[in-house]
Structure 1
Amino acid sequence: MAEVCLTGITKRFGKDVALDDVTMTIPDGSFVVLLGPTGAGKTTTLRMVSGLDAPDQGRITIGGHNMVGLTPAQRDVAMVFQQYSLYPHMTVRQNLEFPLKSPILRTPQADIDRKVAEIAEILQISSKLDNKATALSGGEMQRVSIGRALVRNPSVYLMDEPLSSLDAKLRADLRLELKSIQADSGATLLYVTHDQIEAMTMATHVGVLDKGRLVQFGSPREIYENPVSIYAASRLGQPRINVLPADIFGGAPSGAASIGLRPEQIVQGEGEESLVQRVEHLGDQTRLHLTCKSHDIITVTDAHTELKPGDIVRIRPRNPFYFDATGARLA
């Protein structure tokens, strides 16, 4: 496996800047998740690393080797696309075998059979091995697509929202399996998702992208607890961080335009009066939808709370985040 370094990567499509001077190091053996809305530059970053696109400026190295001019095959990467990208005339088994039958790899048939059976069991598609790819459901096709990458042992795995088409239970199961496979193999994995739960549960590092720029890079916990901006803070956390006028509770520092409050930063039982608008019982916790001085706030409380709509709750901040008028975090 290998460390991946992007240095000053810029990519334009006409007048649109897809990536703007992105510099990022993906450590060897790490599970890096790229977060950001559509158009932030996540998939473009994957395409730069894979060799499907070339940067207009900057340098990419894998394992210390410059990737300029190298094809995807020469870079020894395996990519899973959001679309299934299977060979429709082949069976599931043949799709899984295909990468291992490359003349470059020259994998013995016994090793191919063992690896295909192992991955099929992990992805719960053992009973589908002799089915044509076109006879599968969307979720099954995506599992085959993931499996075709996992059967190999490349320098880097690149995955573009590979779980988005799966049902909730299978998505949860595969989150655990992918993380386990990555941890056991020591693979370097770069993963794109919109799902912050995937980022929080799988990633060793998270890269937050905004309009082609890398705004923060660190562990999920670091970005959650020490965001550099409102934008970065809003990428992680469920429910989303509450962003309110800085003076809503008083005591804001000079230059503060907004205060950011995650649920654990809201103390209940003292402070400003807030009206309970809605109560959501979620089993292990209860979400409270409040209104304080005409501003909506979402927080969590005891799972067995007896609060109901129309009740009054007093709240105050504890160790909140403050942001300036541009959305940047104040020290």
Structure 2
Amino acid sequence: MSEVRLSNLSKAFGETIAVDDVTMTIPNGALVTLLGPTGAGKTTILRLISGLEQPDSGDVSIGGRSVVDDTPAQRNVAMVFQQYSLYPHMSVQDNLAFPLRSPLLKTPAEEIERKVSEIAEVLRISHKMNNKATELSGGEMQRVSIGRALVREPTIFLMDEPLSSLDAKLRSDLRIELKRIQESLGATLLYVTHDQIEAMTMSTHVGVLDHGRLVQFGTPREIYENPVNLYVAGRLGQPRINVLPADMFAGAPAGADKMGLRPEHIQQGEGKGSMVKRIEHLGDQIRLHLTLDGHDVVTLSEPHSDLEPGDTVAIQPRNPLFFDASGVRIT
């Protein structure tokens, strides 16, 4: 595995700027997530690293060496896509072995068998090796798809929303599984998603993209607790951060236009009175939907709260975030 460095990387398609002067380092052995909505430039960055696209300007280096003039095969990266891309007529064994049978790699048969067996154990699909791909469940097919990348021992794994087509339970299970695999192999992995839960739970680092620009890069905790602007603050956190006028409560700093309040940063029992509109019972907690001076506010409450719609609850901010009129954080 190798450190991957992007330096002032840019790419446009006609009038559309897909990647705009991105500089970022993916440390060796890290799991870095690129987070952003559709059109933010996430997949284009993967394609620029893999060599499927050429940058208009800037550089991509792997292991300290520029690879912009290398072919995709020379870069030795492995991509996993949203769709499984398996050969349906082949067994799991043959699907896993297929990349190693490339004439370019010239991998000995006994080495292929060893690697395939090891990866099958890691992915916990050894009992499915003789099954055709069409006989697998969705989660098993995605494991095989991931396994086809893992057998190659590339410099970096590039994963383009590989779990987004799975149901919620399976997505949750495979998030844990993928993180376990990455840690056990010491793999360098760049993972693209629009799902903030994936970004928060899996990553060592998160890069937040907005219209091709890298807005902030750091650990999930840094991004969550110290967002550089209102856009970043809104990308992480479930429920989403509450955005209120800065003067709704006392204590706003000079120049503040908006206050950002995470649901868990709203203290109940004193402060301004708000009306309960709706209550969501989530088992381990209650999500309260409130109205405060005409603004919607979402906060959390104890699971055994006896509040009802129409009740009034006093709230006040704790550790609020403040932003100026352009959305830039005021610290």
Q: State the partner residue of 1:74.
A: 74
Partner in structure 2 of residue 297 of structure 1: 297
* Residue pair 1:243, 1:261 contacting (<8 A) in 2 also: yes
- The within-5 A match list for 1:141-152 is 141-152=141-152
| Structure 1 position 30 matched with structure 2 position 30 | yes
2:267 is aligned with 1:267:
yes
Determine helix, strand or coil for the equivalent of 1:8.
Answer: strand
CA distance in 1, matches of 2:27, 2:42: 18
Shift of 1:238: 1.0
Indicate the residue corresponding to 1:321 in structure 2. Answer: 321
The residue correspondences of 1:1-331 to structure 2 (distance < 5 A) are: 1-331=1-331
Aligned counterparts of 1:278 and 1:147: Cα–Cα separation in 2: 45
- 1:236-261 deviations in Å (ceiling 9; x for gaps): 11111111111111332221111000
Counterpart of 1:141 in structure 2: which amino acid?
A: M
Distance 2:135 2:207 in 1: 37
Greater displacement, 239-248 / 109-118:
109-118
Residues 60-86 of structure 1 deviation map (CA, whole Å, 9 limit, x = unaligned) = 100001112211111111100112222
Alignment check: 8 A CA contact 1:4 1:62 kept? yes
Query: 2:268 is paired with a residue of what secondary structure?
Result: strand
Unaligned runs of 5+ in 1: none
Task: Give, in whole Å, the separation in 1 of the partners of 2:47 and 2:155.
Answer: 15
CA distance in 2, matches of 1:258, 1:48: 37
Contact persistence 1:139–1:165 (CA under 8 A)? no
CA deviations on 1:277-296 (whole Å, 9 max, x unpaired) are: 11111111111111100100
* Distance of 2:117 and 2:269 partners within structure 1: 57
Deviates more, 1:87-96 or 1:77-86: 87-96
Superposed CA offset, 1:125-157 (max 9, x none): 444433333454544432221111122211100
Q: CA RMSD in A?
A: 1.6
Counterpart Cα distance in 1 of 2:40 and 2:312: 40
- Aligned partners of 2:192, 2:6: CA distance in 1, in Å? 16
Q: Which amino acid aligns with 1:299?
A: T
1:291 alignment partner, SS class: strand
Checking the alignment, whether the CA contact within 8 Å between 2:122 and 2:181 is kept in structure 1 is no
Distance, in Å, in 2 between the alignment partners of 1:84 and 1:295 is: 44
Deviates further, 139-148 or 274-283: 139-148
Distance in 2 (alpha carbons) for counterparts of 1:121 and 1:164: 24
Per the alignment, do residues 284 and 114 of structure 1 end up closer, same or farther by CA in structure 2, a change over 3 Å counting? Answer: farther
Q: Secondary structure at the match of 2:247?
A: coil
Count of aligned pairs between the two proteins: 331
Paired amino acid for 1:35 = L
Instruction: Indicate if the aligned counterparts of 2:266 and 2:316 stay in contact, CA closer than 8 A.
Output: yes
Letter in structure 2 aligned against 1:112: I
Return 5+ residue gaps in structure 2 as ranges.
none
SS of the equivalent of 2:207 reads: strand
CA contact (8 A) 1:122 1:177 kept: no
TM-score (norm 2): 0.95
Superposed CA offset, 1:168-211 (max 9, x none): 33222221221122112221100001111111111000000000
C-alpha distance in 2, partners of 1:268/1:220? 27
